[in-house]
Chain A
Amino acid sequence: MLSRTADNLYWLARYVERAEYLARILETSMRLTTLPLAYVGSTNEWETAVATAGCRKSFFAHYAEANEENVTEFLAFSIDNPSSIRNCIEVARQNARAVRTALTIETWETINGAWLELKRFGNGPPSRDEFLRFLHWVQETSLRFDGSAYRTMLRNDAYWFSRLGLYIERADNTARILDVKYHMLLPADERVGGPLDYYQWAAILRTVSALTAYHWVYRDNLKPWLVADLLILNEQMPRSLASCYENLVRFCDLIATAYGRQGQAQRQARTIRTRLQNSRMEEIFQAGLHEFITEFIADNSALGAAVNSQYLQ
């Protein structure tokens, strides 16, 4: 397979996943703004949204204030933000178009259909109702992409590279959302698990569509360390870092077996998985969740770099 084709497939999946993540962040933020301030504290949820999306710096280069209008425009529709939902879908479609031959009709039609549909939404939402529909539509697009790839693509390197993109992006997103919320919610002097942050933690879980899962797994009230456990170490949870790395190791190995050669990507994926397997939540909290996550994000992007230099260029 051409390296460029593998590269396009990898980024196609990453951008679709990212678009979904942004839609989830925005939906959660909208929900939080409907709660009385006493329930959520004085945090500016729109600023949190920008930080969670990982584009705080570029946002404040364009806007003075993080309010609903600005953040919505920047994260969803802006052409100036390379990672806005609009640009994610645009770039995903460009990648898809460059590898039409490696995609099934169903997968292509999902992306092309989304791209055509995007034009209908214009440059911004006419109303909150419309906007919410838009966010749901983005999430559905991602589901349909994922589903059509899962159901129709041959299980060969084309599929495996697209899965690598998906899981590396998803692991990055999950790590970021934990980090930002944790950071904003728990300044050094705040008591962990105070009543104030209940809705914030619920919001995190909602963002990754895990609120119900939490209750099934822990049968307990929302507790920060359990939320972190669910999203970091719990292998049942499809968005957790542990689960992402189960998949990353598997797909890296499938590629290595097919090509008859192991490399840095396989080693890096296994190292990270082993570290996750050997971690305990108490130790992570003792050593500092923020430090743990910062290190994970760096390791995760090192895997991306290894995949890139081993296969994609």
Chain B
Amino acid sequence: MALAFDEMRGSNGQVRPAYAGLDQWLRDLSPDVLDRRRREAELLFRRIGITFAVYGEAESTERLIPFDVLPRIIAAAEWDKLRAGLEQRVKAINLYIKDVYGRREVLRAGVVPEDLVFQNPVFRPEMNGMSVPHDVYVHIAGIDIVRVDADTFYVLEDNVRTPSGVSYMLENREIMMRLFPELFSRHRVAPVENYPDELLATLTSVAPPCASSDPTVVLLTPGIYNSAYYEHSFLADKLGVELVEGRDVVVRGSFAYMRTTQGLKRIDVIYRRIDDDFLDPLAFRPDSALGIPGLMTVYQAGNLTLANAVGTGIADDKAVYSYMPEIVKFYLGQEPILKNVPTWRCREAEHLSYVLDNLEELVVKEVHGSGGYGMMVGPKSDRATIEAFRAKLKTHPENFIAQPTLALSTCPTLVEEGVAPRHIDLRPFVLTGRDRTRIVPGGLTRVALKNGSLVVNSSQGGGTKDTWVLDA
């Protein structure tokens, strides 16, 4: 594993231009200020109630995601390239999903193997032959990006079901501006505060044809016990739309309505933060108490937009991921601007044997896993873990992919010993409406707070940083 590229100091120790202001500011600062601000930030987060839940921890159902007070900075030129790549990728993903549930040209051409689609548990036969309003399937995408050197960004993962984290992007900026006005006065930082407006514009643009010119949008949450509930209520508030739970919505005839203090009111667009499985107990899991019985019939009648659409999981599966460069080429006839991490598909015999021979060097991921669960980082794992994965790989190779252990870029982070480099990634949010694609500059930077750790997920001890796109 090569030495990690540092976003501030590059590979040679020289401060990169975008970080010059931050570097100078850090030098001017008296040493205890950062720690004091860190404690202030924690107090603010707790008072505002920005919490998340970690499943399986009975003790505390509400925890704070650690927030690092040092920003991660992206130069405008770097961002322009990223943005073009993100737009391209999400465009291809939308075309791919429409195709899979429609003409299936991508399968007939042999670009993606059929069984990866049809035997995939997240494939929804209910969507076959159905058209969704304005042909948009993925309205909100969170594309995870990692960087390995000055010029190379990889897409690590596409999240096109119900990606979360955008509230942290917004709150991190607010808190940073409160804590460090002096630091901001030295920089010109592209704003992110318009995200809710962009999201609302996106959602209203995709209302079904039967809706009025002022469509009713709601945000559907599983409820207060969901780990991302804070984000759901935060977004509903910023969007100015009702935050509904399944029990607030009823289906009458071929429309969906919410129960209000003035009787039933028709709903046109649901920004849902509930998985497909729980959406409609009549169509999917019958034991779901979170969903709305009959919702799929409204959807199939074309009287409702779901954002994101049902069945988008067939595009962000880790096995499908490895075909994404071909998918981009197939639909757009272009070379992908953003590269994939080189990936071995264990379902293919040749790849499997390479993976088995090099387990100690590789990261092995479960195809359906997420949140940092069900993965093994070879160089950081002991013998027993590696052997356990070897056994799993031999029994169910199709459940796994493998990638080289990347030297994720690092960024200066405030830790107990002071300021030290820690590994980071980036999740920009891509909004696709009827009219156009909207991306606010930056996104959510996640940081692995443990020294040397490559796992940035909040459920595994990761934190977040404010992300700046700077003219420099």
List A residues at the B interface (Cβ < 8 Å): 1-6, 94, 97-98, 100-101, 105, 108-109, 112-113, 116, 157, 161, 255, 259, 261, 311-313
Contacts and interface: CB of A to CB of B under 8 A. Distances in A.
Given A2-B260, A98-B223, A101-B237, 19 more contacts: A1-B260, A2-B242, A2-B259, A3-B248, A3-B259, A3-B260, A4-B259, A5-B242, A97-B224, A97-B229, A100-B49, A100-B234, A101-B233, A101-B242, A105-B48, A108-B49, A161-B261, A255-B261, A259-B261
Contacts of B49: 97, 100, 108, 112
Nearest to B236: A101
Interface residues of B, number: 22
Contacts of B47: 109, 112-113
B450 to A, nearest CB: 28
A255 B46 CA distance: 35
10 contacts: A2-B242, A2-B259, A3-B260, A4-B245, A97-B233, A101-B236, A101-B242, A109-B47, A255-B261, A259-B262
A100 B237 contact: yes
Which of B229, B236, B243 has the largest number of chain A CB atoms within 10 A?
B243
Nearest to B261: A311
A97 to B, nearest CB: 5
Nearest to A7: B261
B244 A2 contact: yes
Nearest to B239: A101
A94 B261 contact: no
Contacts of A313: 259
A134 to B, nearest CB: 21
A155 to B, nearest CB: 16
A116 B43 CA distance: 12
A158 B262 CA distance: 13
A105 B261 CA distance: 23
Interface in B225-277: 229, 233-234, 236-237, 242-245, 247-248, 258-262
A161 B243 CA distance: 18
A132 B233 CA distance: 36
8 nearest CB pairs, A to B: A101-B237, A100-B233, A311-B261, A3-B259, A6-B261, A101-B236, A1-B261, A259-B262
Contacts of B260: 1-3
Tell me what chain A mostly uses at the interface: helix, strand, loop, or mixed.
helix
Interface of B: 46-49, 223-224, 229, 233-234, 236-237, 242-245, 247-248, 258-262
Given A97-B224, A109-B47, A3 B236 contact: no
Contacts of B233: 97, 100-101
Which of A3, A94, A313 has the largest number of chain B CB atoms within 10 A?
A3
A311 B263 CA distance: 8
Which of A5, A94, A113 has the largest number of chain B CB atoms within 10 A?
A5
A3 B244 CA distance: 10
Nearest to A259: B262
Contacts of A4: 245, 247-248, 259
B59 to A, nearest CB: 13
A156 to B, nearest CB: 11
A278 B262 CA distance: 33
Nearest to A4: B248
A101 B244 CA distance: 11
A272 to B, nearest CB: 22
Contacts of B234: 100
Nearest to A105: B48
A278 to B, nearest CB: 31
A113 B47 CA distance: 7
Contacts of A98: 223-224
Nearest to A311: B261
A109 B46 CA distance: 10
Contacts of A100: 49, 233-234, 237
A100 to B, nearest CB: 4
B237 A157 contact: no
Contacts of A255: 261
A105 B244 CA distance: 20
B46 A116 contact: yes
A112 B223 CA distance: 18
A313 to B, nearest CB: 7
Nearest to B259: A3
A190 B401 CA distance: 87
Nearest to A97: B224
A108 B48 CA distance: 8
Contacts of B258: 2
A84 B245 CA distance: 28
Nearest to B230: A100
Contacts of A161: 261
Contacts of B237: 100-101
Contacts of B247: 4
A109 B48 CA distance: 7
